[in-house]
Amino acid sequence: MSTVEIKNLHKSFGSLEVLKGIDFTVESGQVVCVIGPSGSGKSTLLRCVNLLEQPTSGQVVVDGVDLTDPDVDIDAARRRIGMVFQQFNLFPHLTVRRNVTIAQERVLKRGRGECDRVAQENLEKVGLLEKLDAYPGQLSGGQQQRVAIARALAMNPSLMLFDEPTSALDPELVGDVLAVMRTLAEDGMTMLVVTHEMGFAREVADRVVFMDQGVIVEDGPPEQVIADPQHERTREFLRRVLHPGV
Amino acid sequence: MTPVAGNQTAVPSGGRLSPRRRQRIGRGVQYGVLIVVVVVLAALADWGAIKQSFFNGEVAGQGMPTLFTVALRNTVIYTLTGYVMGFAVGLLLALMRQSSVAPYRWIAAGYVEIFRGLPALVIFLMIGSLPLAFPGFQVPGDVYGQAALGLGLVSAAYMAETFRAGLQAVPKGQMEAARSLGMPYLRAMVSIIIPQAIRIVIPPLTNELVLLFKDSSLVLFLGVTAGQVELAKFGNDQASTFANPTPILISGLTYLLITIPLGYVARRLEARQGAAR
């Protein structure tokens, strides 16, 4: 069974059509990286998967549930879809511990002890157990992003969405976040990742999707899309990304 | 031919004053004006009368300790109850302004426009007439209830605008992060957005408390008994009783006793928040 199935997805902001009919699937356990120039619609596509953006038309089916159906409890569906943002979006007024426990407690109605145990387990996974009682403002960007990953994982999602998770980070902090994501991928998490990190896409992704101007131009294994692109637009983009300044 | 033709600006310009000298003379003139004004006022004032009328210790003593035990106490009660009501209604109005139901937005916007546009006094004059609109209705708590209602209605309009600014200052990503964790809209508002917004608006809300403290003097228009009297009316009544304005001055000083430290706290909070950004 496929985890994510997107059918003829369109999304417009006013008269601007950002997604012009997207079809693709993410199989359970797969890691799919979405690459493409800015403005190509890749972030919008990702945000449509958990309905942070309401699609104009088309279907978004996650774990067999069509999220575009108005009768679907979107809050319940989102519990199973973790999301990591470019700007981390940790809750700055809460400690790291509370950031990771608040949704468990308020949404999943877990008991205090269990919330704490799950929080510690996931913070250990991202290597930040010692920051349990720190506030987000006291952490580096890379640490904040790892806490954000732990916060999403604490909900036991079946799918993780990453929206340019390393784009707001200083270069020396990118590695720690990518390492956590790599471990997650090896553990079999289904992941949909919008990224500019070509190295990560090449090494970790099962499939790479290249988007441009609201459509999917190329979709295939990384050794094809990145190493041997079939379309001129893909080649042009990769040239600029892999050899900037040339 | 001058040897430094290309460097004229640094050369003392014979006869004309340099900017620095002119500035010093300007400062001297300002000191002079200040001294003249103070001397003239001091010479014209009748110091004996001033002491007798405004700093009359005997008259001041007559107001003690009622000034604090009744007047100040009532002022504080009126202010705090009005503030609590304004806080609750203001927050509700701010949330209504973000509602997806258009009439709620209109009502909230209309409320803010009307109650910010009206003098607080007019509202106090109208409160007594409320039973005409709702027969049988009595504001609970007599004058205390009416005061809380009047001050609450007025301050709610101002606090609504403050809360709105605070809610808008919370980054959009906070709501998105909360929703992506499966929190329903209301839960995200209560647990994530509102706590951050309130932190942002604590300094302006402290200023609002200062304003309300002063506006509580309007309670005198509700018609209060001796036990319900607040600072301004207390001072005015005492002044009439003793035919001496000292009690009014004392009342004024008592307001300052509260408003100046509170204003100081507000500025400190503001500065701290500015530094934390």
Q: Considering only alpha carbons, which residue of chain A is nearest residue B192?
A: A91
For residues A125 and A182, is the Cβ–Cβ distance under 8 A?
no
The CATH architecture to which B65-276 belongs is Orthogonal Bundle (1.10)
pLDDT in tens, B124-142: 888 877 777 787 777 787 8
The pLDDT of A37-64, averaged and rounded, is 94
Distance CA B77, CA B83 (A): 10
pLDDT of A1 strictly over 50: no
Question: Exposure of A21 by Cβ count < 10 A (0-12 exposed, 13-18 middle, 19+ buried)?
Answer: middle
- Across the interface, whether the CB atoms of A93 and B196 are under 8 A apart is answered yes
pLDDT bucket at B243, cuts 50 / 70 / 90: confident
- Across the interface, whether the CB atoms of B183 and A92 are under 8 A apart is answered no
The pLDDT of A177-200, averaged and rounded, is 95
End-to-end Cα spacing for chain A:
44
pTM, full prediction? 0.82
A interface test, pick of B181, B191, B198 with most A CB neighbours within 10 Å: B181
DSSP A154: T
pLDDT in tens, B101-114: 999 999 999 999 99
Distance CA B132, CA B96 (A): 28
| CB contact set of A87 (below 8 Å; sequence gap of 6+) | A168, B171, B173
Q: Looking at the complex, does the CB of residue B190 fall below 8 Å from at least one CB of chain A?
A: no
pLDDT in tens, B41-79: 999 988 888 888 888 888 778 778 888 888 899 999 999
- Across the interface, whether the CB atoms of B176 and A85 are under 8 A apart is answered yes
How big is chain A by its Cα radius of gyration, in Å?
A: 18
Distance CA B249, CA B242 (A): 14
Domain ranges in chain B are 65-276
Q: Would you mind telling me the total number of residues written for chain B in this entry?
A: 277
Question: Exposure of A66 by Cβ count < 10 A (0-12 exposed, 13-18 middle, 19+ buried)?
Answer: middle
Q: Looking at the complex, does the CB of residue B181 fall below 8 Å from at least one CB of chain A?
A: yes
Task: Supply the pLDDT for residue B11.
Answer: 61
pLDDT in tens, B165-209: 999 999 999 999 999 999 999 999 999 999 999 989 999 999 999
| CB contact set of B46 (below 8 Å; sequence gap of 6+) | none
pLDDT bucket at B1, cuts 50 / 70 / 90: very low
Q: Looking at the complex, does the CB of residue B272 fall below 8 Å from at least one CB of chain A?
A: no
Stretch 144-173 of chain A: residues touching chain B, C-beta under 8 Å: 148, 151-152, 155
